[in-house]
Amino acid sequence: MHIPVLQKEVLQYLNPKPNENFIDATCGEAGHTLAILEKTSPNGKILGIELDPELYQKLPRFHLGKRGILVNDSYSNLKEIVERENFKKVSGILFDLGLSSWHLEESKRGFSFLRNEPLDMRYNFQNSLTAEKIINQWPEEKIGKILKEYGEEKFARRIAKEIIKARKVKPIKSTLQLVEVIRRAISPKYRFGRIHFATRTFQALRIAVNDELENLKKVLPQALEILESGGRLVVISFHSLEDRIVKNFYRSRASIDLKILTKKPVGASSEEIKINPRSRSAKLRAAIKL
**CA separation for the pair 103, 149 (Å, rounded):** 23
Q: What DSSP string runs through 86-106? A: T---EEEEEEE-SPPHHHHHT
**What are the backbone dihedrals phi and psi of residue 91, each rounded to the nearest 5 degrees, phi first?**
-90, -15
Can you tell me the distance from the alpha carbon of 73 to that of 224, in angstroms, rounded to the nearest whole number? 19
Non-local CB neighbours of 129 within 8 Å, separated by 6+ positions? 122, 208, 209
| Cα–Cα distance for residue pair 211/198, rounded to 1 Å | 20
Binding-site positions for S-adenosyl-L-methionine read: 30-32, 50, 75, 96, 103
Peptide linkage before 171 cis (omega within 30 of 0): no
Which residues carry a binding-site annotation?
30-32, 50, 75, 96, 103
What is the residue-wise DSSP string for 244-257?
HHHHHHHHHHTTTT
Burial class (CB in 10 A: 0-12, 13-18, 19+), 98: buried
